[in-house]
Structure 1
Amino acid sequence: MTPRTTAAATIAATVAVACLVGASPAAAAPKHGTAPAPAPAGSLVLIGGNLKENATILQRIVDLADPDGDGPAKARIAIVTAASSAAKTAEAAADDTLNNASANGLYYSALFERFGAETYAVPIDTAVNFAGDAYKPSNANDPKVAREVAKATGVFFGGGDQMRYVRTLFDCKNAASEAFTSCTDTKVMSAVRGVLDRGGVVSGVSAGTTIQQGADMVTGGEPYQAWRDGTTPGYLDDASALAHLPYGGFGFFPEGQLDSHFGTWGRQARMIKLADQTGHDLVVGVDETTALVYDRATRQGEVIGRNGVSLLDTSETVIEGAVGTGTRWSYLVAGDRVDFGTGAITPASERRTGAGTDAAPAPVADVWDSIDNPDAGVYSLVGLGVALVASVADRAEGTTFETDPQYRTVLERTAGTSWWDGGFEGLAITISPAD
């Protein structure tokens, strides 16, 4: 296919601004006699997974939910855990060491209360498995539950499977066929939107992050199968096959497609393929124990936590057969900022250009970190990129663990490449068959 013509490319052609994140131009001036639309309110805290009770991330969520700063009012956070499976027994529902919707509600409520917030565990999940189960799908349209959510100053979405949020918080036509068309909000979902529109914070971890994008939300798939086979609309029983939901998620994050566990599980290839096939110009991938804090009014993003956030500019990506070129990759770490309106990245440490002084990195095996190979190291592709920019080399590569076919990923410096402690901007990614 041919590259898409994007607003980012137009800006780059008319002003001398490096724009490597698929930015869009400023909104056109309103017509005479009409007022400009108000800027969207509220903030997002998008966590890539494996929160590990990270104090920096948790405190930021509570602070953003604080209605009067250091005043007497407290942050009140609604905890939604419907992405987890339903508890099988009353005993399992009451055990906050287990992984089910009810148990996770208890766990996250206690966790946020430790950081000074009041909480409300939203009693919604996908099934009722025992008598007296307080968590049930019908609560998504219960006015009493919706009113409790509406009182919140923040909402937190737990991890699991993002499609369970679609099934429980939307009313969709064609849900049985997995097409999920013409979805409308349940009462609880409407209340969540109200919290954000009043200036509150919506946060989520893993599936709770992925669900916050708009159209063409990823619903599953491993990088190798994604690159080999492409994407299918809907939700597939084969978890290794790439699939996406055309209707998408909540639509809270408008800047691009979202993915979680990103560097940990080597998901760059799957999202380059998905973005290309669905016509998106930017992918934002968040690593584990890391969050992107996004201000909806200013379109400013900040990275906090342990690892990093990837920005894949796919506006010039071309995939012909099994060969993909034209993707530009930037990797931001704690303290780094991005202006999604202009595309400008501001590192927290000194920015460098040109080659470094370290030795060229050796080729990496299992560069996409196949989840089927638990002995492989994590963050292989991220580590290769960080090593490349700090080295004397202009090129580095790795191959997939899987063969027949085996794929090679090549990273290269470009004229716009720069780097800093742990991060970089503007590396080119090329993927092709290894043979």
Structure 2
Amino acid sequence: MQIPRAIATTVAATAMLVASIGAAAPAVAAGPQGNLILIGGALNENAQILQRIVRDADPDGSGPARARIAIVTAASVPATSAAEASDPTASNAAANGLYYADLFARFGADTYRVPVDISVDYAGDPYVPANADSAAVAAEVRASTGVFLSGGDQSRYVQSLLDCAPAPSGAFTSCTDTPVLGAVRSVLDAGGVVAGSSAGQTIQQGADMVTGGESYEAWRYGAYAGTGIGADDLTYLPYGGFGFFDEALLDSHFGTWGRQARLIALADETGHDLAVGVDETTALVYDRATRVGEVIGVHGVSVLDLYPADIVGTRAEGVRWSYLVDGDRIDFATLAVTAGAAKRTGAGTGTGPGVKRDIWDSPNGSGGTYSMVTQAKSLVASSASVAQGTTWERNPRYRTYLDRVAATRWWSTGGFESLEISFIPE
């Protein structure tokens, strides 16, 4: 369980008091450096996000040096032949390396393609697991000013860049860095940037990383440590990911695929008070030194606060949901949100939305995408105080309630804070 924020706030206040007593107080070590750019998937060559990655990786701003980005594609499936590896239309670790190298070059960066994936698949295959332990490959990564982690399956990043003690069903609890992952960490610690999309975003969190599952199954059956338990079951890795982002659990494709319920279930199961989900073609830019996150891109970033919630069994009430859009910021030390537009209190105008069927966007249903986000945005801008939705699945069917409360704020660009979510089985 994370330290409750009330205790953390007291500790922080005590530290400030000690520091103010006099010059005799010992010097405080510098905090972590570097930026994370956490992209929820479907980068879609978004210029705003790509320019930000290259800008943050530029070692001297407008000077003569250029950003050098190490491209890691080990979450992708391996190429099965040399022809497949060099096919620009294919989707595999080697071909994706070529694609991203060209993409970042178009935005003014030098690149290095990191030749690591999970298996050796043909004679002369340059992308092999052993390269994760190569001093030469690690040196090339360490010479970079930024790292980009592409999408795929975050479990493949664990298999390729971490050395983990054996565990049933991949439920690893003890892992160490390979030399290449150590080099990635050194780039970040030196003030560089680590960006990642989809699996490349999710792998950057600490303990209890999600590895699969759907929202309905998460509440119907619970969460299981490991991978591959069942096609739609909620699974997670106790050891977690690379540990670059330790503020909260992370999830990708978030509002897009209706993952709010899944992440709340995982956070409750694993004892986390805070969870963050990033939508597609959207990024949370996180400054590790200041602990401030900035949203850029097309959609939004969800911050789910379970601290005030009441969750018993398969019933959850009072989870606080904030949804930040392009230009909004959040201070993770205090959870204070700075909106890019004027915040509004109270109700808007017009009637609220009707009951939304398939509000969790089941892959077997007909809800489409962004159902809960759309329902929430419609609610806060209306005169209503509550909106509802139901799951596509029955036995049981879950009803979602979105409640406007005294702390709820919203703004014209589509963001809001402190809307309450409840899930009630019928």
Unaligned runs of 5+ in 2: none
1:8 maps onto 2:5 in alignment = yes
Q: CA deviation at 1:5?
A: 9.1
After superposition, the C-alpha distances for 1:254-278 in whole angstroms (9 at most, x for unaligned) are 1100000000010010111110111
Partners of 1:7 and 1:25 within 8 A in 2: no
Q: Give the equivalent residue in structure 2 for 1:42.
A: 34
Counterpart-to-counterpart distance in 1, 2:423 and 2:173: 33
After superposition, the C-alpha distances for 1:173-194 in whole angstroms (9 at most, x for unaligned) are 1156513232111000000000
Partners of 2:164 and 2:172 within 8 A in 1: yes
Counterpart-to-counterpart distance in 2, 1:259 and 1:360: 29
After superposition, the C-alpha distances for 1:199-220 in whole angstroms (9 at most, x for unaligned) are 0000000000000000111111
For residues 27 and 118 of structure 1, do their structure 2 counterparts lie closer, same or farther at Cα, with a shift above 3 Å needed? Answer: farther
Question: Which of the numbers 293, 314, 323 marks the counterpart of 2:306?
Answer: 314
Q: Give the equivalent residue in structure 1 for 2:362.
A: 370
Q: Give the equivalent residue in structure 1 for 2:416.
A: 424
Q: Give the equivalent residue in structure 1 for 2:200.
A: 208
| TM-score, normalised relative to structure 2 | 0.95
Question: Which of the numbers 25, 42, 60 marks the counterpart of 1:68?
Answer: 60
For residues 144 and 10 of structure 1, do their structure 2 counterparts lie closer, same or farther at Cα, with a shift above 3 Å needed? Answer: closer
Q: CA deviation at 1:404?
A: 1.4
SS in 2 for 1:188: helix
Partners of 1:214 and 1:249 within 8 A in 2: yes
1:382 maps onto 2:373 in alignment = yes
1:145 maps onto 2:137 in alignment = yes
After superposition, the C-alpha distances for 1:261-307 in whole angstroms (9 at most, x for unaligned) are 00001001011111011110110100000000000000111000000
1:91 maps onto 2:78 in alignment = no
Instruction: Name the Cα RMSD after superposition.
Output: 1.8
Question: Which of the numbers 286, 289, 313 marks the counterpart of 1:294?
Answer: 286
Partners of 2:168 and 2:226 within 8 A in 1: no
Q: Give the equivalent residue in structure 1 for 2:44.
A: 52
For residues 228 and 55 of structure 1, do their structure 2 counterparts lie closer, same or farther at Cα, with a shift above 3 Å needed? Answer: same
Unaligned runs of 5+ in 1: 15-23
Counterpart-to-counterpart distance in 2, 1:258 and 1:212: 8
Partners of 1:26 and 1:341 within 8 A in 2: no
1:330 maps onto 2:343 in alignment = no
For residues 184 and 80 of structure 1, do their structure 2 counterparts lie closer, same or farther at Cα, with a shift above 3 Å needed? Answer: same
Task: Write the letter of the residue equivalent to 1:264.
Answer: T
Q: CA deviation at 1:376?
A: 2.9
1:28 maps onto 2:12 in alignment = no
Counterpart-to-counterpart distance in 2, 1:270 and 1:25: 32
Task: Write the letter of the residue equivalent to 1:57.
Answer: I
| TM-score, normalised relative to structure 1 | 0.93
Q: CA deviation at 1:238?
A: 2.0
1:101 maps onto 2:93 in alignment = yes
Q: Report how many aligned residue pairs link the two structures.
A: 420
Q: CA deviation at 1:237?
A: 4.5
Q: CA deviation at 1:39?
A: 1.0
- Structure with more contact order per residue of length (Cα contacts < 8 Å, sep ≥ 6): 1
1:155-234 to structure 2, matched below 5 A, reads 155-175=147-167, 177-234=169-226
Partners of 2:169 and 2:227 within 8 A in 1: no
Q: Give the equivalent residue in structure 2 for 1:399.
A: 390
